[in-house]
Amino acid sequence: MYTDKVMDHFQNPRNVGEIEDADGIGEVGNPTCGDMMTIYIKVKDDKIDDIKFKTFGCGAAIATSSMITELAKGKTVDDAYAISRNDVAEALNGLPDVKMHCSNLAADALQAAIDNYRSKNS
Partner 1 sequence: MIYMDHAATAPVRKEVLEAMEPYFTKYFGNPSTFYTVGREAKKAMEESREKVAELIGANPEEIIFTTGGTQSDNIAIKGIVLKNKNKGNHIITSQIEHPAVIETCKYLEKNGFEVTYLPVYEEGIIKIEDLKEAITDKTILITIMHVNNEIGTIQPIAEIGKIAKENKIKFHTDAVQSVGKIPVDVNELNVDLLSMSGHKIYGPKGIGALYIRKRTRLEPILHGGGQEKDLNPGTENVSGIVGLGKACEIAKEELEYNQKYLTKLRDMLIEGILSNIEESYLNGDLINKVPGTANFHFVGIEGEGLVLLLDGKGIAASTGSACSSKKLEASHVLKAIGLEDVDSHGSLRLTLGSENTEEEVTKVIQATEEAVKRLRSMSSIWNQ
Interacting residues with ligand FES (CB under 6 A): 34-35, 57-58, 60-61, 99, 102
Residue ranges in 63-122 that form contacts with partner 1 under rule CB under 8 A: 98
Q: Confirm whether 33 is a catalytic residue.
A: yes
Q: With helix as H, strand as E and coil as C, how does 31-94 read?
A: HHHCEEEEEEEEEECCEEEEEEEEEECCHHHHHHHHHHHHHHCCCEHHHHHCCCHHHHHHHCCC
94 binds, among partner 1, ligand FES, none (CB under 5 to 8 A by kind): none
Choose the catalytic residue: 43, 102, 105, 107.
Answer: 102
State the minimum distance, in angstroms, from the CB of residue 92 to partner 1.
15
